[in-house]
């Protein structure tokens, strides 16, 4: 819900600038004028905790139409949206000052748009009201131009996706593209769409700004992989929106990456989807080592169970690096290398066993003994050796 913090009433009139009436109103649609005048009225006389959904009910409009009108007047310069804080603040400038530039409102050193006279919060998550602020001092410092972050956005940013009422969705279904989207979703999800489900699916287009054909591709891809959870679909929509996956070609590239690289993680026993960092690493394996997907999958299988999840990618890369250094390129060569390794291991084990069986020839184990049956006169032999060596006789 987008709550509006509003000031208490001060008088019984709502002044409208002549500039608005003469320059902006003639070319604007009646719906946009209606929204502008109502919010201008609320900024002076509204009750505390007023919301955009409440305004939509009063004006017999949809909340999305309300937000589109706000964005229209922001682009025209008739009002401004201050995005400097945690929430977006809609600001009515003093139209007696120079007209706001289409590139955005001027700002004072505090970051507030110059010429601010009345404001309300269009994205707060509680009912707290925002007190009116006095007009800032104009000559305190030179103003700076600030352009909107997303001038092409369909609506201004709000804290959470809107919850569309049945009457709103009925109106949106009049669009053949939206009607086809809902029909496709019912077929893929294999159930009729409840209002909450239809509301969430429509938010993929209206709030996350994904084109209808991209939303259709998203639904088909996720359900085709057995993922029918609405939370899962919304997580993918949010991810694609943040990463600007705004064409079917980009979506196909993104899903191909998942289809190719996710099996690597599965073979390692990791259930999550590959991150961008994972994808970069897998692509490096393919480009650096020139291994086929079959070879990489084999390395992933061998790594499983030999390292913690954090170390699995590093362990797998070590296997690939070893194969690459040996010139191994095929599965047959892997099997031959396995046999050679097994034989080397067997020979080493046999050598260790033989070494363990041989007596150790250390000085402690060497024994000297005198054969009692020997006829050698060792005393005479010692005397002869002494004489021959030049030692004096005793």
Q: What is the pLDDT of residues 204-234, one digit of tens each?
A: 998 888 999 999 999 999 999 888 889 889 9
Write out pLDDT tens, residues 11-22: 578 888 888 888
More confident site: 244 or 381: 244
Lowest mean pLDDT among 90-99, 131-140, 197-206, 210-219: 131-140
Selection from 345, 259, 256, 337 nearest residue 302 by Cα: 337
pLDDT of residue 88 exceeding 70, the answer is no
Q: What confidence score (pLDDT) does residue 119 get?
A: 37
The yes-or-no verdict on residue 87 having pLDDT over 80 is no
Separation of alpha carbons 50 and 5, rounded Å: 7
Q: Which pLDDT score, from 0 to 100, does residue 106 have? A: 38
Answer yes or no: is pLDDT of 100 > 80: no
Q: What is the mean pLDDT of the chain?
A: 74
pLDDT of residue 389: 64
**pLDDT of res. 308:** 82
206 CB neighbour count, 10 Å cutoff: 23
Domain boundaries 3-145, CATH class: mainly alpha
Helix (H) / strand (E) element for 75: namely helix 63-76
Q: Give the model confidence (pLDDT) of 277-288 as tens digits.
A: 888 888 888 888
- What pLDDT is stored for residue 101 in this prediction? 41
Q: What is the pLDDT of residues 155-208, one digit of tens each?
A: 334 456 788 888 889 989 999 999 999 999 999 999 999 999 999 999 999 888
Mean pLDDT of 88-107: 55
Percentage with pLDDT > 70 across the chain: 68
Give pTM, 2 decimals: 0.43
Q: What was the pLDDT predicted at 109? A: 33
Q: 121: part of which helix (H) or strand (E)?
A: strand 116-121
Task: Report pLDDT for 139.
Answer: 36
Q: What is the pLDDT of residue 178?
A: 94
Q: What is the pLDDT of residues 13-62, one digit of tens each?
A: 888 888 888 888 998 888 889 988 888 887 776 554 456 777 777 888 77
Distances (CA, A) of 344 to 339, 341, 355, 356, 362: 9, 5, 16, 18, 29
Question: What is the maximal distance between C-alpha atoms in the chain?
Answer: 144
pLDDT band at 352 (very low <50, low <70, confident <90, very high): confident
Domain map (residue ranges) of the chain: 3-145, 166-322
Are the CB atoms for 117 and 7 separated by under 8 Å?
Answer: no
Burial 84-114 (b: 16+ CB within 10 A, else e): eeebbbbbbbebeeeebeeebbbbbeeebbb
- Give the rounded percent of residues in the chain with a pLDDT score beyond 90: 18
Separation CA 207–CA 376 (nearest Å): 111
- Of 92-101, 213-222, 355-364, the least confident: 92-101
């Amino acid at each position: 819900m987008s709550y509006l913090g509003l000031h208490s009433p001060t008088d019984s009139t709502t002044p409208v600038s002549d500039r608005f009436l003469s320059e902006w109103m003639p070319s604007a649609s009646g719906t946009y004028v209606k929204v502008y005048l109502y919010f201008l009225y609320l900024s002076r006389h509204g009750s505390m905790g007023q919301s955009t959904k409440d305004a939509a009910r009063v004006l017999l409009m949809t909340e999305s139409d309300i937000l589109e009108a706000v964005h229209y007047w922001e682009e025209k310069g008739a009002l401004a949206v201050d995005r400097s804080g945690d929430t977006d603040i809609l600001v009515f400038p003093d139209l007696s000052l120079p007209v706001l530039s289409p590139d955005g409102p001027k700002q004072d050193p505090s970051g507030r748009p110059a010429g601010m006279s009345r404001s309300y919060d269009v994205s707060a998550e509680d009912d707290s009201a925002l007190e009116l602020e006095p007009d800032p001092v104009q000559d305190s410092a030179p103003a700076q131009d600030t352009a909107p972050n997303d001038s092409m956005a369909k609506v201004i940013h709000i804290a959470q996706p809107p919850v569309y009422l049945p009457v709103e969705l009925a109106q949106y279904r009049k669009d053949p593209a939206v009607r086809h989207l809902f029909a496709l979703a019912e077929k893929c999800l294999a159930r009729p769409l409840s209002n909450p489900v239809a509301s969430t699916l429509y938010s993929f287009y209206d709030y996350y700004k994904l084109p209808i054909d991209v939303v259709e591709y998203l639904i088909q891809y996720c359900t085709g992989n057995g993922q029918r959870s609405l939370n899962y679909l919304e997580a993918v929509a949010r991810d694609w929106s943040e990463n600007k996956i705004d064409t079917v070609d980009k979506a196909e590239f993104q899903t191909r990456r998942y289809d190719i690289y996710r099996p690597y993680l599965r073979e390692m026993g990791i259930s999550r989807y590959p991150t961008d960092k994972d994808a970069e690493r897998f692509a490096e394996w393919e480009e650096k080592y020139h291994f086929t997907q079959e070879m990489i999958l084999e390395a992933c299988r061998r790594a499983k169970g030999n390292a913690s999840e954090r170390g699995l990618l590093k362990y797998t890369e070590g296997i690939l690096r070893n194969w690459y250094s040996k010139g191994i390129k095929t599965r047959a060569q892997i099997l031959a290398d396995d046999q050679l390794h097994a034989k080397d291991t067997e020979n080493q084990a046999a050598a260790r066993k033989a070494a363990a069986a041989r007596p150790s020839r250390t000085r402690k184990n060497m024994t000297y003994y005198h054969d009692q049956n020997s006829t050698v006169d060792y005393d005479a032999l010692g005397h002869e050796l002494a004489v021959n060596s030049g030692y004096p006789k005793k």
